[in-house]
Amino acid sequence: MPKTTVNLLLADDDELLRDHARAQLADEPVHLALACDGMDALEHLRGNPVDLVILDLAMPMMDGFEVLEAIRADERWRFLPVLVVTARDDTSALDRAFELGATGFAVKPINWRLMTRQIRFALRQAKTEHALRQARSRLHERYTQGADASQALLASAAELMALAARGDEPTRQAAKAMAKQLEKFRDAAPDPGLSKAG
């Protein structure tokens, strides 16, 4: 787990599992919030900072699929990591959860040692993806403010390659692909000097 305190939200209607989660994560730098159903989870999200959600798919009143759909429909939580939990080895349910935007999954009974590693990985991945989005935003800002297009693209490509060196394999591949695309755009950009001369 990161050294800084992480805000986790666990939504599950199983009281024993919630108690077990509290005990298993007691030694981690975690502030754990507990929700007993989907509506309770969304209410907590609306009023509190959350870094990652652990979401049971089978809950009364509002199941995990509905909660996940509501999370992804809200711009504030569009990129929030969500690990779904199911008691069934149901690939169709997991496929549906990933289509709705799940980040990862666990099958009950939860192996909390593995879950802790999943949480760590999901948080690291979210941080890297956030940095990639910021790099792309800076590129857009530089370009729209009239900065030299070639230099802006080159600088952003360098930022993406630096991120690639620090990320996991999927992130490295994505960053490298974006950097190559930026270099193509740079090469295709018109020479500002020629534009001024005309």
Residue 115 within a domain: no
Judge if 77 and 168 occupy the same domain. Answer: no
d(CA 128, CA 166): 8
User: Pairing between strand 104-107 and 52-56?
Assistant: unpaired
Nearest by Cα to 83 from 195, 8, 177: 8
Q: Which residues contact 157 (CB under 8 A, 6 or more apart)?
A: 179, 182, 183, 186
Per-residue pLDDT of the chain (198 residues; tens, 9 = 90+): 656 789 999 999 999 999 999 999 988 899 999 999 999 999 999 999 999 999 999 998 899 999 999 999 999 999 999 999 997 677 889 999 999 999 999 999 999 999 999 999 999 999 988 888 787 777 777 666 655 555 665 566 666 667 666 666 766 777 677 767 666 665 665 554 444 444
Judge if 32 and 94 occupy the same domain. Answer: yes
Residue 122 within a domain: no
> Within 7-148, where are the H helices?
15-24, 38-47, 64-73, 91-100, 112-144
Question: What's the pLDDT score for residue 67?
Answer: 97
Residue 89 within a domain: yes
Beta-ladder partners of 107: 86
Compute CA 134 distance to the chain's CA centroid, rounded to the nearest angstrom: 14
Judge if 70 and 159 occupy the same domain. Answer: no
Residue 123 within a domain: no
Question: What's the pLDDT score for residue 197?
Answer: 42
Q: CATH number of the domain at 36, please.
A: 3.40.50.2300
Question: What's the pLDDT score for residue 28?
Answer: 86
Question: What's the pLDDT score for residue 192?
Answer: 47
* DSSP symbol at 78: T
Judge if 166 and 95 occupy the same domain. Answer: no
Judge if 176 and 82 occupy the same domain. Answer: no
Residue 13 within a domain: yes
Q: Which residues contact 19 (CB under 8 A, 6 or more apart)?
A: none
d(CA 188, CA 149): 10
Judge if 96 and 136 occupy the same domain. Answer: no
Judge if 53 and 95 occupy the same domain. Answer: yes
d(CA 191, CA 116): 51
User: Residue 30 is part of which domain span?
Assistant: 6-110
Question: What's the pLDDT score for residue 46?
Answer: 96
Number of domains in the chain: 2
d(CA 180, CA 191): 19
Nearest by Cα to 56 from 34, 74, 77: 34
